[in-house]
Amino acid sequence: MALFVLRRLMLTGLMLFGLVLITFVVSNVAPSDPAALAAGPDATRDMVETIRKEYGLDRPLPEQFVHYVGGLLTGDLGRSIVTTRSVMEDLGRYFPATLELVLLSMTFGVLVGVPLGMLSAVLKNRAPDHATRFVAVSLVALPAFWFGILLQLLFSVQLEWLPTSGRLDIATPPPPFVTGMLLVDSVLAGQWATFADALRHAVLPALVLSFPCLASILRVNRAEMIEVMAADYVTAARAHGISRLRVVCVLALRNAMLPTLAIIGLRWGWMLGSTVLVETVFDWPGIGLYAVSSAIAGDFKPVMGVTLLIGVNFMIINLIVDLLYGVLDPRLRATS
Amino acid sequence: MSALLEISGYRLAFDGFEGRAHVLDGIDLTVAEGETVGIVGETGCGKSVLARSVARLVDMPPGCVPGGGIRFAGQDVFAMDQRGLARLRGHGVAMIFQDPMTYLNPVFSIGSQMVDVIRAHDRAEGKPKRARAAARDAAAELLDAVRLPDPGRLLDRYPHELSGGMRQRVLIAMALTGTPRLLVADEPTTALDVTIQAQVLRLIAELVAARRLTLMLISHDLGVIGALCRRVVVMYAGTIVEDGAADVLFAAPRHPYTRGLLAAVPDLARPAHRARPIPGHIPNLLQPPPGCRFHPRCELAVGRCVAEKPPLRQVDGRLVACHRAEEAAA
Amino acid sequence: MSLALRRASFAERHAASLRQLRFFAWSFGRSPSSMLGLAIVLGFLLVAAFGPWIAPYPLDAEGAMNLGNRLKPPAAAHWFGTDEMGNDLFSRVVLATRTSLWVGLTIVGMATVIGVPLGIAAGYFGGVARAVIMRVTDVFLSVPGIVLALAIVAALGPGILNGIIALSIVWWPGYVRLVEAKALALRNEPFVEAARAVGASNLRILAVHILPNCTSPIIVKASMDMGLAILAAASLGFIGLGAKPPAPEWGAMISVARTYMPNWWWYAVFPGLAIYLTVLGFNLFGDGLRDILDPKSNRG
């Protein structure tokens, strides 16, 4: 088991290096001149050259890469031109908001997707199954940015039930900073009114963000359940007189949960990626919005920082999923 | 002796892309309490779906029953509600299956699977559910009854850690939890090594005798049937062709198919006496042959065999479904 | 003497394949959602093909200005209403169909051309080639496509062509992963070993045995990806890094329309509906294909 963990860790390190290389290459194939960009539109040629020297942009690429990696190791992701803060500091500021949204969406996706997938599998090829599958495909096909706008129209403008955008009303006092996640911090501080307001703000973006993930979980769970329900050991369990409810909800679900777990790991990264769109629509101050506004301004460093952060996140989650897999599947436990 | 299982005119079909496959065509079979019945036939003759039908384990759809029915202890199996089915399965009819690997859930320990079954039976019988610890003790006792060593430790192990023979014993132990009246064994030894086969067969024979079980043993192996069963039912393409006491049937088969089946068994004692395979193939069940389903492969077939389905009738101390059963004696 | 033998008819020679095809058609037709997907995809292709004849005001797609007609709600003359330039939204949505189709085809085409050979090489040859290809693939797959595409477009500069390039770069690893697994499984199949044993060249084995057996999952993935690639390109357009107005593109239209919400709701609603229906059509179609061609894989 220890060997398995060690190997996975080394592989993750290798992947991390690859990712760093990709972001470096991407930011250096750019036709635009980062020094000129940093100096601003009114800068003279001399000023641009000074900046070029200062940032080491006049050095050969391999040397720049070594410098870049060295910076990364000390947590230096460069400086954002737009916010003028270091990218690391910005990520620390914006990531909790994104994490809050993603956690909320993932929870919703699992809580709705798993039971719907089971229902669909049990009623295979009957009307509710067709309906559920249609909904699942629909949820993947819905453009998040467009559906977000429609939900805003309905719930915020027409019905006035929920706020349009942001994380809190201007009038609501934010809780003291602990985790940066308002829902958590407000509970810790006992500010229930703030909690309610934060939740009201989070409902629509979390909902939109969860849809593709919910659809995936539903489909995988359905497919797995169908396969497991046809397995010999389920026939045997039925032959031994175990009730259908228990067969479906306990025995088969446990088997079907393993692939579902893998999907949750895969979708975690996807979801972080979709925040780029959802946060833009709902003006949610997380890393997605940060990446988009920086990209539009031609400011690479923050975009690369976000890319790295999401990549690292994805690798960590998949590492956890792999380890959990080992715990949940006795066959793997024995071999590893 | 009273009839425990009554199958009368039972028909079963499956709907698929190419139409309806008539898998069972009018099965008549009555099994009395305490009988040991072997059902033998080629792969695809319908013996396994017949076994599953007894515990209503055939999925419908795609399956459907165009006619006939099954009664267990006087009750119509197809009219049972969920409660009735829960009582029937395990408590009335218990099953053991062919491949013991795939019939055990890989992600649960042996103990947790057995405890589940034991508690399910408590519920079906309307008794208060035993606590997990008590159910575990009962499970250990059952494992001991099927002669598995060190039952206490075994309960914590997972199916993949056991050998094929041990897994089959576990499955047999699970089948016994509900103190069933009828044990249906579907090819219980086919997937096992020959040496293990004999042990498992002996175990089944002992359990059947000790617990006064009625046995319905499905196999394509005449040797297995002969070792365990007093009565043999021969099936061909979804019909019963011959049904009678094992010694009578093996000594003097009356149906041409039974004769072919016996002749196809290699005899180790007489190597010179070559096994003769039955010519032809089992028929396509989408469009089964009219009349007697065996007629395209039968050397005795006459016009009547094509025109008219032979009924099971009493000939020479057994039931035979053949128009020319009298001639077949020769 | 006339020959008793005659050449078998086409139907006879290909009886097995025809039977297989009929089976596919039968299974596909049995699923209402698959048929709906097929209908939507066909409709989308027709609109793309005959766009200029369907659109009532084809010139509006290039950004004509009819300022007297600004932001009119849907009516008989303008089914989907008009935008801030007074252009007919119906015409623009219809003509944008062709853009989206090309974008989708190009991205999926590029991804297949890059990904399939790499996947086959990795799966069939194994060894160092496999290790290198798969590790690179894993790195690309560790960042969601939209984020990496965003980074690439940010570096290359906005525009629909750069968007296509960026999305193609992030799209191929999925095909490597898919084909590699399949090729790896096929490599040890008895018929491949038999071919190797009789001295068939690697190239011949790849062409005759490996590739044809990989086509089903590739077709299924490609048809699903058509929809997803169109969605991704529209997303870039929405962010403002893809197609630029006044070129007709659904995502970019919604991006502009957002500033006219909520009073001029139709501006955003109809382009979005077009994206949704197109992606839905390809997904339902691909889903149906998967059920008949590749029923065992059902990974979300």
Q: What is the CATH number of the domain that holds C207?
A: 1.10.3720.10
Query: Which residues in chain A have their CB less than 8 angstroms from residue B116's CB?
Result: 237, 242, 246, 251
**Residue B123, Cβ neighbours under 10 Å: how many?**
18
Assign A336 a pLDDT band (cuts: 50, 70, 90): very low
What is the DSSP secondary-structure string of B114-152? Answer: HHHHHHHHHHHTTPPPPPHHHHHHHHHHHHHHTT-S-HH
The larger pLDDT score, comparing residue B78 to residue A253, is at B78
Per-residue pLDDT at C229: 93
Judgement on whether residues C12 and C126 belong to the same structural domain of the protein: no
Structure confidence at residue C32 (pLDDT)? 81
Q: Please report the DSSP string for B182-218 in residue order.
A: EEEEESTTTTS-HHHHHHHHHHHHHHHHHTT-EEEEE
Is there a single domain that holds both residue C116 and residue C12?
no
Q: Does C143 touch chain A (CB under 8 A)?
A: yes
Q: What is the arithmetic mean of pLDDT over C228-235?
A: 92
- Domain boundary assignment for chain B: 3-229
The stretch C190-211 carries a mean pLDDT of: 81
Q: Does A286 touch chain C (CB under 8 A)?
A: no
What's the rounded mean pLDDT across residues B71-97? Answer: 85
pLDDT score recorded for residue C1 = 42
Q: How many domains does chain C have?
A: 2
Whether C9 and C85 map to the same domain: the answer is no
The least confident of A257-261, B257-261, C93-97 is A257-261
pLDDT of C226 higher than 90: yes
Q: What is the rounded average pLDDT of the residues A106-114?
A: 91
Beta-bridged to residue B29, according to DSSP, are: B7
Question: Chains contacting B with at least 3 CB pairs below 8 Å?
Answer: A, C
B208-238 pLDDT, tens per residue?
A: 998 889 999 998 888 888 888 999 999 988 8
Q: How far is C155 from chain B (nearest CA, A)?
A: 49
Counting one residue from chain B and one from chain C, the pairs whose CB atoms sit within 8 A come to 3
Mean pLDDT of C204-217: 83
Whether residue C300 is predicted with pLDDT greater than 60 in this model: the reply is: no
> Is a pLDDT exceeding 60 seen at residue C20?
yes
- Report the pLDDT value the prediction gives residue A209, as an integer from 0 to 100: 93
Contacts with A335 from chain B: Cβ below 8 Å: none
Residue A207 confidence (pLDDT) above 80: yes
* Domain B3-229 homologous superfamily, CATH: P-loop containing nucleotide triphosphate hydrolases (3.40.50.300)
- Identify whether residues C54 and C111 lie together within a single domain: yes
A230-256: pLDDT as tens digits: 888 888 888 887 877 788 887 777 777
Token pair for residue C15?
A: 């009886």
CA atoms within 13 A on the CB side of B250: 15
DSSP labels, C59-101? GGGGT---GGGTTPPS-SSSTT-B-TT--BHHHHHHHHHHHHH
Name the neighbours of C, counting chains with at least 3 Cβ pairs within 8 A.
Answer: A, B
Amino acid letter, B232? V
C153 and C185 together in one domain: yes
Report residue A292: phi and psi, to 5°. Answer: -65, -50
A60 DSSP 8-state letter = -
Mutating which of A145, A159, A219, A261 best tests the C interface, going by the most C Cβ atoms within 10 A? A145
The predicted-structure confidence for B259-309, as pLDDT tens digits, reads as follows: 888 887 776 666 666 667 777 777 777 888 888 888 888 888 888 888 888
**Does C272 lie in the same domain as C141?**
yes
For residue C105, the Cα-to-chain-centroid distance in whole angstroms is: 6
**φ and ψ at residue A238, rounded to 5 degrees:** -65, -40
Instruction: Say whether both C9 and C67 belong to one domain.
Output: no
CA distance C235 to chain B (A): 42
Chain C residues touching residue B17 (CB < 8 angstroms): 23, 26-27
Mean pLDDT along residues B35-40: 92
Considering only the beta carbons, identify the residue of B86, B158, B160 that sits closest to A241.
B86
The residue of chain B nearest to residue C27, with distances taken between CA atoms, is B17
Question: Which DSSP helix (H) or strand (E) runs through C210?
Answer: none
Chain A positions touching B63 (Cβ under 8 A) are none
CB–CB contact B89 A240 (8 Å)? yes
**Would you tell me which residues 12-41 of chain C have a C-beta closer than 8 angstroms to some C-beta of chain A?**
31-33
**CA B160 to CA B180: how far, in whole Å?**
27
A:B CB pairs within 8 Å:
92
Predicted interface score ipTM higher than 0.90: no
Structural domain of C4: 1-30
Backbone angles phi, psi at C261, to 5 degrees: -85, 155
Residue ranges and CATH numbers for the domains of chain A are 35-76 (no CATH), 87-144+201-335 (1.10.3720.10)
Question: What per-residue confidence (pLDDT) applies to C8?
Answer: 67
Task: Give pLDDT, residue A67.
Answer: 82
pLDDT at C115 over 90: yes
The strand pairing partners of B186, in sequence order, are B218
> What's residue C227's pLDDT?
92
C186 and C243 inside one domain: yes
Q: Which residues of B touch C (CB under 8 A)?
A: 17
Q: Does A327 touch chain C (CB under 8 A)?
A: no
Residue A331 touches chain B, beta carbons under 8 Å: yes
- Are both C2 and C88 inside the same structural domain? no
In this prediction, residue A206 has a pLDDT band, given cuts at 50, 70 and 90, of very high
Q: Which of C34, C143, C231, C239 to mutate to test the interface with A (most CBs of A within 10 A)?
A: C143
Least confident of A173-177, A305-309, B157-161, B266-270: B266-270
Asked if A137 and C284 count as a contact pair (C-beta separation under 8 A), the reply is: yes
**Of A318 and A335, the one with more pLDDT:** A318
Tell me how many helices (H) and strands (E) chain A has.
Answer: 15, 0
Residues of A in contact with B171 (CB under 8 A): 236
Note whether C147 and C256 are same-domain residues. yes
* Global pTM exceeds 0.90: no
